[in-house]
Structure 1
Amino acid sequence: MTGARPMRIALWGAAIGGAATAGYLGLVTAALPVDVGVGRRFRRLGPQTVEIAAPRDVVFEVVSGPYLGRTPRAIREKLNVLERGSDLVLAEHFTPIAGGRLTAVTVETVRFTPPERIDFRLVRGPVPQVTESFVLHETGSGTRLEYEGRMGTDLWRPGQWWGAQVAARWESTVAASLSAIRAEAERRAQGGRR
């Protein structure tokens, strides 16, 4: 009889540990989003600015093309458009995390206001609320693309801590996207337009 109690405690510990691990993985990959609307706190994302030696319409085309047109094979592992309209899409974005062992899946609406603005609104993700924008300004040498956003998390300080973890990765992903946008827009502007 004395062996049954330690066994029961070990089983409960394993169950709690397994549930905690599953919950964490669900939260990180956005498979189990937490949106309880209690203790919501907001933080700013960005701003990030990139100067692009290409006309504004070319930059807008580079950003909007995979959403509004056919998604190129090269980025299908990062983007899947679920619903496509003339100026609004619902899209899944795939981001490798944990050294590529896991993938976070976010679902966002993306609204296009040619040629100066693209707005993103999170529908499902690792935090309950994110709104972002790309604003394109014509300059004498091309285009200035400005990114900024706002992230909301629930559950007071624990949510605020979680938001800081997510925001660091989120902003890093945006920076990589801005760099890719600049490279492709400048390539097209130099005569390699596709």
Structure 2
Amino acid sequence: MTGAGRRTRPLGSQTVDIAAPREVVFDVIAQPYLGRATGAMREKVRVLERGSDMVLAAHFTPVAGGRLTATTVETVRFTHPERIDFRLVRGPVPSVTESFRLTEHASGTRLEYRGEMGTDGWALGSRWGRLVAARWEETVAASLTSLKDEAQRRSRHTTPAAGS
């Protein structure tokens, strides 16, 4: 759209503590973009262009009970090992910026998600944004759960047993 009646709203924040080193968590997030994606991830993410610290990627999200797939195109920028930033290029709203921030703490890594969504069209756009934001945040929450599970699984498999 044109930016007329632009309104912004926050996305998140969502925080998850992960019992894994920050490097492992970063690698799990970055793998489908910078490395070789698993079969399951290839159904969700396709890298369109790749640079040294940024990719352009299409993301596929099931909607309408899985009957439809929403496609967004985003730039994904990597600041190893503490941050990954996303910026919407094409999607259901004109503007989204997001970040995953990784900090070390006593039991592993804290991953914090924050973002901002912009909609055009005054009140009508704002109502559409509420619908999109609810689904967007549900998708992020599911991704964070998967990231946590995978990072902890990898960490268990790479950490030597006590007394070894």
Q: TM-score with structure 1 length normalisation?
A: 0.80
Greater Rg, structure 1 or structure 2? Answer: 1
1:51 to 5, 13, 17: 17
Residues 1:98 and 2:64 are matched in the alignment: yes
Q: Where in structure 1 are there 5+ consecutive unaligned residues?
A: 1-34
Q: CA deviation at 1:146?
A: 0.1
Residues 1:177 and 2:129 aligned together: no
Relative contact order (alpha carbons < 8 A, sep ≥ 6): 1 or 2 greater?
2
- Aligned residue for 1:111? 77
Q: Could you give the per-residue CA deviations for residues 147-187 of structure 1, whole angstroms, max 9, x where no partner exists?
A: 00000000000000000000000000000000000000000
Which 4+ residue blocks in structure 1 deviate beyond 4 angstroms? none
Partner of 2:30: 64
| More strand by percentage | 2
Within-5 A mapping of 1:1-194: 35-191=1-157
Once the two structures are TM-superposed, the CA of residue 103 in structure 1 deviates from its matched residue by 0.5
Cα RMSD over matched residues? 1.0
CA contact (8 A) 1:115 1:136 kept: yes
TM-score by length of 2: 0.95
Query: d(CA) in 1 for partners of 2:81 and 2:39?
Result: 25
Aligned-pair CA distance for 1:192 = 5.6
CA offset at residue 72 of structure 1?
1.6
Normalized per residue, which structure has more helix?
1
The count of corresponding residues between Structure 1 and Structure 2 is 159
What do residues 117-163 of structure 1 show as CA deviations (whole Å, max 9, x unaligned)? 00000000000000000000000110000000000000000000000
Contact preservation (8 Å) 1:68, 1:85: no
Cα distance change, pair 131–39 in 1 and its aligned pair in 2 (3 A):
same
Q: Give the unaligned 5+ runs of structure 2.
A: 160-164
